[in-house]
Amino acid sequence: MGFRDLKAFNLALLAKQGWYLLHNTNSLFHHVFQAKYFASRSFLEDQLNKRPSFAWQSIMAAKSVVEDGIRWSIKNGDKVKIWNDKWIPKPETYKIMTPINPKMYNEKLSVLIDKGRAVWKSELVNSIFLPH
Residues 77, 41: one domain? no
Mean pLDDT score of the chain:
84
Residues 21, 78: one domain? no
Residues 40, 60: one domain? yes
Residue 123 within any structural domain of the chain: yes
Say how many domains are in the chain.
2
Domain with 37 in it: 6-69
3 state SS for 32-77: HHHHHHCCCCCHHHCCCCCCCCHHHHHHHHCHHHHHHHCCCCCCCC
- Checking if the pLDDT of 27 tops 90, the result is yes
Residues 31, 80: one domain? no
> Could you give the count of Cα atoms lying within 13 Å of 14 in the half-sphere of its Cβ?
19
Q: Of 53, 69, 85, which one is at a domain's C-terminal end?
A: 69
Task: Give the number of other Cβ atoms within 10 Å of residue 13's Cβ.
Answer: 11
Exposed/middle/buried for residue 109 (C-beta within 10 Å: 0-12, 13-18, 19+) = buried
Q: What is the pLDDT of residue 36?
A: 87
Higher pLDDT, 102 or 27: 27
- Checking if the pLDDT of 103 tops 90, the result is no
Residues 55, 98: one domain? no
Residue 50 within any structural domain of the chain: yes
Residue 1 within any structural domain of the chain: no
Q: What is the pLDDT of residue 3?
A: 67
Average pLDDT over residues 123-130: 86
- Checking if the pLDDT of 14 tops 90, the result is yes
Residues 46, 25: one domain? yes
Q: Of 40, 69, 98, which one is at a domain's C-terminal end?
A: 69
Residues 23, 60: one domain? yes
- Checking if the pLDDT of 131 tops 80, the result is no
Global pTM reads: 0.61
Provide DSSP, 101-122: -GGGTT-BGGGGEETTTTEE-H
Percentage above 90 pLDDT, the chain: 15
Nearest CA to 106 out of 125, 81, 89, 78 is that of 81
Q: List, for residues 31-83, the tens digit of each pLDDT value.
A: 998 888 888 777 788 777 778 889 989 998 998 888 888 777 777 888 888 88
